[in-house]
Amino acid sequence: MPEQRVIDADELILKTERQRKFITGAQAMAEAVKRANVDIAIAYPITPQSEVMHLVGDIWAQGYLRDYYRAEEEYGAMSAIAGAVRGGARAFSATSGPGLLRGLEAIASWPGHRIPVVLGVLTRVVNAPLSIQPDNVEISYLLNCGMVVLHAENQQDVFDFTLAGFVISEKVDVYIPVAVCTEGFFVTHAKGYVNMTPEDLKLPPRDPYKAPVPPTDCEIPPARIQRDAPVQKSNFMSYLIHAVWQQEIWSSNRRAMKYINHYLGGPIEVVNEDAEVFIVASGCAAAQGREAVRYANMEGLNVGLVKVKSIRPFPEKQIRQVLSNAKAIIVPEHNIVGWLAKEVKACIPNSDAVIGGPRVYGGMTLPVELIMEKVYDAFGIKKSKKVVV
């Protein structure tokens, strides 16, 4: 293990010279953890997440982390994460599908407990019949608990979102967890080029006193700080305290946007702003959407892409603006419920323009041709043979 030097977060993320490596998404996540000065990681195996937490275990064994263990199950893992973060440590965990749902009671209470942490969500099928394939319906379960939810398209995003995730989650005016989601296998087990910050530089350690709520460590006066809302006092107090506390969580969530702008170049990426027809997609579907834009342009069709990086906070304004003149909006997804299509429909005035789909689920791949069929439909093109390229 090289000796690591602490460097300012902005310097590390935005200014250091990057080195290009051809690695898997799982490696990219572990490499980000390596540079994030993480104190403790807590793991529980599930495919396809396991690869990430094996690698994090390895870097702990090499000395990059201070503590690491295999928990009893995900509810225990996520509860222990809450304990460690309240004790002032910087922590990391990752899970997939059924593991995420098993840990969800704990995870969904992290925002309310003001737990700044990064959770890797490497998606896979939930519900029956069970399978390990990369369906991403589980992301929809995270959308209403208050945490920041980022969706990575590829290995590079996984590295960038994970490293910046720690910084964003610990900002005093944010101080809620960040989920870094990406499709299992398609990203976690496949290789891509990743430009990485130098291995011998790491983030400054967490300063748990730079916080809107104190850590629970018996270090700051006065002796008893009521960090937990005293909801049992009376019904009235209970309504009120819960209400204002949750308002603050959601305000924190919105305040994360300025840091998403700063560290990740904004919550969306737009390809071909003047397009007539847009593909709006997140995660792996954005990669396929990107290909569809290339196909369409080769055929002289004016198609653009809105890649959504941040699902929470959801960039309503930005999306509304880009789509204001769109004739049709195609939302390809890796799940049956179409959670992204619903989000998009809810934030634009012309929701009729949204073509929900194509959707693949059960972990199937998303052929570009499926997206192209929707593109042709949008332009009213009838083709006997739809696959052109």
Partner 1 sequence: MGLEYVRISPGFEKYMPKDYVDLVQYGQFGKEVDVQQLGQFKELVEEHPMCAGCFMAYFIRVFYAALPKPEDTIVIGTAGCARLALSQAAVPFIYGNYGDTNAVASGLKRALNIRFPNKEKDVVVMAGDGGLIDIGFGMTMHSWFRRENFTTIMVDNEVYGNTGGQESGMSPKGVQLKMAPKGKQFEKINAVELAKTAGCVYVAKISPTNPKRIAKTVRRAVLAAREFGPTFIHAYTSCNIEYSIPTEKVLEDARKREKQDFGFYEWMTDEVKEFFEQLERAPQEVKA
Instruction: Name the residues that contact partner 1, by CB under 8 A.
Output: 39-40, 42, 66-67, 69, 71-73, 75-77, 79-89, 91, 105-106, 109, 113, 216-228, 230, 232-233
CB distance 90 to 37 below 8 Å: yes
Instruction: Compute the least distance from the CB of residue 169 to partner 1, in Å.
Output: 16
In the bound state with partner 1, the residue whose beta carbon lies nearer, of 54 and 227, is 227
List the alpha helices (DSSP H) in 125-175: 155-170
Instruction: Compute the least distance from the CB of residue 60 to partner 1, in Å.
Output: 12
CB distance 322 to 277 below 8 Å: no
Instruction: Tell me the C-alpha distance between 176 and 109, whole Å.
Output: 10
Q: Which amino acid is at 58?
A: D
In the bound state with partner 1, the residue whose beta carbon lies nearer, of 88 and 267, is 88
Handedness of CA 319, 323, 324, 330 (dihedral sign): negative
In the bound state with partner 1, the residue whose beta carbon lies nearer, of 78 and 180, is 78
In the bound state with partner 1, the residue whose beta carbon lies nearer, of 222 and 380, is 222
Instruction: Compute the least distance from the CB of residue 230 to partner 1, in Å.
Output: 6
Instruction: Tell me the C-alpha distance between 62 and 41, whole Å.
Output: 14
In the bound state with partner 1, the residue whose beta carbon lies nearer, of 230 and 362, is 230
Helix 74-86 vs helix 97-113: crossing angle, to nearest 10: 30
CB distance 144 to 183 below 8 Å: no
Note the Cα 34 to chain centre separation in Å. Answer: 18
Which phi and psi angles does 321 have, rounded to 5°?
A: -65, -50
Instruction: Compute the least distance from the CB of residue 227 to partner 1, in Å.
Output: 8
Contacts of 224 (CB under 8 A, 6+ apart): none
In the bound state with partner 1, the residue whose beta carbon lies nearer, of 37 and 123, is 37
Instruction: Compute the least distance from the CB of residue 117 to partner 1, in Å.
Output: 11
Instruction: Tell me the C-alpha distance between 190 and 251, whole Å.
Output: 36
Instruction: Compute the least distance from the CB of residue 66 to partner 1, in Å.
Output: 5
In the bound state with partner 1, the residue whose beta carbon lies nearer, of 5 and 224, is 224
3-state helix, strand, coil in the chain (%, to 5): 40, 20, 40
Instruction: Compute the least distance from the CB of residue 141 to partner 1, in Å.
Output: 16
Beta bridge partners of 6: 202
Number of neighbours of residue 244 by Cβ within 10 angstroms: 10
Instruction: Tell me the C-alpha distance between 283 and 151, whole Å.
Output: 5
CB distance 99 to 44 below 8 Å: yes
In the bound state with partner 1, the residue whose beta carbon lies nearer, of 58 and 73, is 73
In the bound state with partner 1, the residue whose beta carbon lies nearer, of 41 and 125, is 41
Instruction: Compute the least distance from the CB of residue 225 to partner 1, in Å.
Output: 7
Residue carrying the six token digits 């071909």: 272
In the bound state with partner 1, the residue whose beta carbon lies nearer, of 230 and 265, is 230
Contacts of 38 (CB under 8 A, 6+ apart): 64, 65, 90, 91, 92, 166
Instruction: Compute the least distance from the CB of residue 90 to partner 1, in Å.
Output: 9
- Strand (E) or helix (H) holding 91: strand 91-95
Instruction: Compute the least distance from the CB of residue 202 to partner 1, in Å.
Output: 16
Instruction: Tell me the C-alpha distance between 31 and 35, whole Å.
Output: 7
